């Protein structure tokens, strides 16, 4: 109780500028406030430090921002035929030009991937590991536009109903066979049985045929604007396997890991390592690397991925020189690592964003006014500060990251309103009876827990009752699929270069059950429309709906920190979908 009093007294003093940040900090520590509480106080001390907080690290990646119009996802063939020769246009990829060949890159992953069959799972770790050996038909470039990878070209008929993909010739698989249309067709068909977007693509097509060895034709029932982006889907993406591998898999997982990528699979020992070596016959595209496509150098002789679950062990291994790359570290470790003799850390441009998902099927949250009151009560700055720390987040209303061509501020007046009085009024209008919000979070991802704690304080200040329930992550994932046991939960929404691919765009089929006819209609338009300008307008409408219908609260963008050995060079800052290790090298 006395803590609460101290907290609000300090909050008052801080927000009115009667105390400096340092004094607030001293006082707060002296009375023993919790870390999230202290962070909230510091945030209230004024926003002078805040603007620096968000700029500090985003140095290079940001430049890719507004490449505006020319982003046709599935426009005419002309855009698509330019086989990645155009090199990097944005500043996102420092192009490795004089890398050193040889050596073994030891990369650390935070857990064992559930499979190396990319069609099988949405787990990001699988994409991170396997895109070194597999390749898609279309890849995302440095500005998050699509460019052909295994495709040579893509043409759309004038009625928008026939998509013709010409494949590149003389592209060998790791088993020596040449990639042909039969392999592509088998892979895509299998992928479509596992992945929702793939299923939607095949459902929307009348006929899919291999015209000849190097041509595939999709006859669609209706115009399909997301054709290319569907085939460029990254996690659980449509990797092209040999037909023989697909046939041998039956209903289960594939038994052999064979692709066309710059590295080929050598050995996997679960919980110990996964080993790849350079594929010497790799058919590299000419030119330079361009985002996730373009030329791939494959400097290192071998890539080894080691799962290390304990962060202290990961950091120790990096500092002792055993490992070269850690996919993600907590911000606490950044200061230690940035001055280390052997290792260093990079703060990346924002990838995903944090959110509180609201349950449209619960008695409480099915009331739009209560959802809007929830939104209105929140001040996002202290929440993000408590969760991520200064310098590791960005406050931004756009549900598509600034780094993509989809950036928009539509609905921004509803972003972080920080209006507890307005929220109270809305609650009164809604007839809120004081039922506690069942708020699920996890300490497995500490930033989610910290998010929730500060959010709880803010909601309570606006008159909500909150029952914070802390579970392990697997339990949260289990419970969130049961509509009658929760009202809100914390999670992160991972980065997607195309809006229809965001997890939340499953609308009524994703926990939270955003079942809105109006949003569904806009989304359908977004999926069928090919013209970027029209699509962009639709996206803005959808984002406006996001802020008025309130399926969830976007809190803020989060920045990942990756740590690497100083020897590891050539990694692009563009890592929202994962690092491009195939273009990295080890200095001797």
Partner 1 sequence: MTAYILRRLVLLLPVLLIVGVVVFILVHLTPGDPAAVMLGPEASNEQVQQLRDQLGLNDPIYVQFIDWVGGAIHLDFGNSIFLNMPVTTALWQRAQPTGLLTLYALIVSLLIGVPSGIFAAVRRNSLLDRGLMALSVSGAAMPSFYLAILLILLFAVTLHWLPSGGYVSITDNPVQHFKRMLMPAFSLGFANAALLARLIRSSMLDVLREDYIRTAYSKGLAQRRVITLHALRNALIPAITVVGSSLGALLGGAVITETVFTLPGMGQLVVQSVLRRDFPVIQGAVMVIAAIYVLANLLVDVLYIYIDPRVRYGNK
Which one among 128, 234, 235, 263 touches partner 1, defined by CB under 8 A?
Answer: 235
Q: How many CA atoms lie within 13 A of 298 on its CB side?
A: 21
- Does position 451 bind partner 1 by CB under 8 A? no
- Does position 310 bind partner 1 by CB under 8 A? yes
Stretch of 215-223, 283-291, 304-312, 451-459 contacting partner 1, by CB under 8 A? 304-312
DSSP single-letter state for residue 96: -
Residues 348-377 that bind partner 1 (CB under 8 A): none
Q: What angle do CA 302, 292, 136 make, to 5 degrees?
A: 90
Q: Which is nearer to partner 1, 199 or 465 (CB)?
A: 199
Stretch of 16-24, 172-180, 301-309, 383-391 contacting partner 1, by CB under 8 A? 301-309
Which one among 159, 203, 251, 280 touches partner 1, defined by CB under 8 A?
Answer: 251
Q: Which ranges in 359-501 belong to alpha helices (H)?
A: 368-377, 380-388, 420-430, 446-461, 473-479
- Does position 484 bind partner 1 by CB under 8 A? no
Stretch of 142-150, 314-322, 399-407, 419-427 contacting partner 1, by CB under 8 A? 314-322
Q: Phi/psi of residue 58, each to 5°?
A: -80, 15
Q: Which is nearer to partner 1, 104 or 162 (CB)?
A: 104
Q: Phi/psi of residue 460, each to 5°?
A: -65, -35
Stretch of 2-10, 36-44, 306-314, 373-381 contacting partner 1, by CB under 8 A? 306-314
Residues 186-205 that bind partner 1 (CB under 8 A): 194, 196
SS3 state at 374: helix
Report the nearest approach of partner 1 to the CB of residue 96 (Å).
28
Report the nearest approach of partner 1 to the CB of residue 137 (Å).
21
d(CA 476, CA 488): 11
Side by side, the strands of the sheet bearing 488-493 are 393-394, 552-558, 353-358, 488-493, 436-442, 465-471
Buried b (16+ CB within 10 A) or exposed e, 310-349: eeeebbebbbeeebbbbbbbebebbeebeeeeebbbbbbb
- Does position 560 bind partner 1 by CB under 8 A? no
d(CA 293, CA 286): 11
d(CA 315, CA 333): 8
Q: Which is nearer to partner 1, 203 or 251 (CB)?
A: 251
Report the nearest approach of partner 1 to the CB of residue 82 (Å).
32
- Residues listed for the chain: 588
Given a contact cutoff of 8 angstroms between Cβ atoms, the answer to whether 156 and 287 are in contact is no
DSSP single-letter state for residue 507: G
- Does position 124 bind partner 1 by CB under 8 A? yes
Report the nearest approach of partner 1 to the CB of residue 310 (Å).
5
Which one among 79, 308, 348, 405 touches partner 1, defined by CB under 8 A?
Answer: 308
Q: What is the pattern of x (binds partner 1, CB under 8 A) and - over residues 263-292?
A: ------xxxx--------------------
- Does position 409 bind partner 1 by CB under 8 A? no
- Does position 112 bind partner 1 by CB under 8 A? yes
Q: Where are the beta strands (DSSP E) in 321-435?
A: 325-326, 343-347, 353-358, 393-394
Size of the site for partner 1 (CB under 8 A): 46
Q: Please report the DSSP string for 529-548 in residue order.
A: ---HHHHHHHHHHHHHHHHH
- Does position 479 bind partner 1 by CB under 8 A? yes
Report the nearest approach of partner 1 to the CB of residue 143 (Å).
24
Stretch of 77-85, 157-165, 292-300, 466-474 contacting partner 1, by CB under 8 A? 466-474
Stretch of 26-34, 147-155, 159-167, 307-315 contacting partner 1, by CB under 8 A? 307-315
Give the residue among 374, 207, 228, 232 at the shortest CA–CA distance from 293: 232
Report the nearest approach of partner 1 to the CB of residue 420 (Å).
32
Report the nearest approach of partner 1 to the CB of residue 463 (Å).
31
Q: What is the pattern of x (binds partner 1, CB under 8 A) and - over residues 499-518?
A: ----x--x--xx--------
CA distances from 36 to 13, 307, 467, 540 (A): 18, 31, 17, 34
Q: Which is nearer to partner 1, 31 or 508 (CB)?
A: 508
Helix and strand counts by DSSP (H, E) for the chain: 19, 23
SS3 state at 307: strand
Stretch of 52-60, 108-116, 366-374, 411-419 contacting partner 1, by CB under 8 A? 108-116
Interstrand relation of 353-358 and 552-558 (parallel, antiparallel or unpaired): antiparallel
Which one among 111, 209, 467, 518 touches partner 1, defined by CB under 8 A?
Answer: 111
How many other C-beta atoms can be found within 10 angstroms of the C-beta atom of residue 457?
19
Which one among 39, 72, 75, 121 touches partner 1, defined by CB under 8 A?
Answer: 121
Report the nearest approach of partner 1 to the CB of residue 241 (Å).
17
Q: What angle do CA 225, 231, 235 make, to 5 degrees?
A: 120
Report the nearest approach of partner 1 to the CB of residue 109 (Å).
12
Residue with the two structure tokens 């079942």:
515
Q: Which is nearer to partner 1, 271 or 533 (CB)?
A: 271
Which one among 100, 123, 210, 284 touches partner 1, defined by CB under 8 A?
Answer: 123
CA distances from 479 to 144, 362, 363, 490 (A): 34, 13, 17, 12
How many other C-beta atoms can be found within 10 angstroms of the C-beta atom of residue 483?
14
- Does position 26 bind partner 1 by CB under 8 A? no
Which one among 253, 409, 518, 520 touches partner 1, defined by CB under 8 A?
Answer: 253
The site for partner 1 (CB under 8 A) is made up of 111-112, 114-115, 120-124, 126, 194, 196, 235-236, 251, 253, 269-272, 306, 308-310, 312-313, 316-317, 319-322, 471-472, 474-475, 477-479, 481, 491, 494, 503, 506, 509-510
């Amino acid at each position: 109780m006395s803590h609460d009093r101290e907290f609000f007294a300090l909050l008052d003093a801080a927000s009115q500028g009667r105390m400096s940040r340092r004094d607030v900090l001293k006082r707060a520590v002296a009375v023993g406030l919790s870390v999230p509480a202290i962070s909230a106080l510091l945030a209230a001390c004024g926003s002078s430090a805040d603007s620096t907080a968000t700029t500090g690290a985003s140095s290079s990646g940001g430049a890719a921002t507004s490449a505006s119009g020319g982003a046709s996802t599935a426009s005419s063939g002309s855009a698509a035929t330019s086989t990645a020769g155009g090199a990097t246009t944005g500043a996102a990829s420092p192009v490795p030009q004089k890398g050193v060949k040889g050596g073994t890159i030891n990369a650390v992953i935070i857990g064992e991937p559930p499979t190396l069959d990319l069609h099988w799972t949405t787990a990001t770790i699988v994409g991170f590991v396997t895109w070194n050996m597999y390749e898609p038909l279309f890849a995302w470039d440095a500005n998050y536009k699509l460019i052909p990878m295994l495709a040579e070209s893509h043409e759309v008929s004038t009625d928008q109903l026939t998509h013709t993909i010409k494949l590149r010739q003389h592209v060998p698989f790791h088993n020596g066979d040449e990639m042909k249309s039969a392999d592509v067709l088998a892979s895509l068909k299998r992928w479509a049985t596992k992945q929702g977007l793939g299923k939607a693509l095949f459902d929307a097509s009348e006929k899919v045929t291999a015209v000849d060895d190097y041509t595939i034709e999709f006859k669609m029932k209706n115009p399909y604007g997301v054709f290319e982006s569907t085939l460029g889907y990254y996690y659980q993406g449509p990797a092209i396997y040999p037909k023989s591998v697909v046939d041998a898999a039956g209903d289960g997982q594939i038994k052999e890991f064979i692709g066309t990528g710059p590295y080929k699979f050598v050995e996997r020992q679960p919980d110990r390592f996964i080993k790849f070596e350079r594929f010497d016959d790799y058919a590299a595209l000419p030119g330079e690397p361009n985002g996730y496509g373009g030329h791939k150098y494959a400097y290192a002789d071998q890539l080894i991925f080691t799962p290390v679950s304990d962060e202290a062990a990961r950091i120790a291994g990096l500092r002792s020189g055993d490992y070269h790359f850690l996919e993600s570290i907590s911000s606490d470790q950044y200061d230690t690592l940035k001055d280390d003799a052997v290792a260093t850390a990079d703060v990346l441009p924002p990838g995903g964003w944090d959110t509180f998902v609201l349950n449209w099927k619960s008695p409480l949250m099915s009331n739009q006014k209560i959802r809007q009151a929830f939104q209105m009560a929140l001040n996002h700055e202290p929440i993000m500060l408590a969760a991520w720390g200064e310098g590791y987040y960005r406050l931004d209303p756009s549900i598509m990251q600034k780094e993509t061509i989809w950036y928009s501020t539509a609905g921004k007046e509803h972003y972080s309103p920080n209006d507890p009085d307005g929220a109270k009024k809305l609650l009164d209008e809604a007839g809120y009876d004081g039922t506690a919000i069942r708020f699920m979070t996890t300490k497995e991802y500490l930033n989610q827990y910290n998010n929730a704690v500060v959010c709880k304080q803010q909601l309570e200040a606006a008159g909500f009752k909150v029952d914070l329930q802390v579970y392990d992550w697997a339990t949260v994932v289990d419970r969130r699929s049961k509509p009658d046991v929760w009202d809100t939960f914390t999670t992160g929404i991972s980065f997607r270069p195309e809006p229809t691919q965001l997890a939340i765009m499953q609308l009524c089929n994703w926990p939270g059950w955003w079942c809105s006819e109006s949003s569904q209609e806009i989304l359908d338009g977004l999926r069928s429309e090919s013209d970027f300008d029209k699509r962009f307008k639709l996206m803005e409408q959808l984002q406006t709906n996001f802020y008025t219908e309130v399926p969830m609260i976007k809190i803020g963008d989060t920045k990942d920190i990756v740590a690497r050995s100083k020897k590891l060079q050539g990694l692009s800052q563009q890592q929202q979908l994962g690092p491009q290790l195939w273009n990295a090298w080890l200095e001797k």
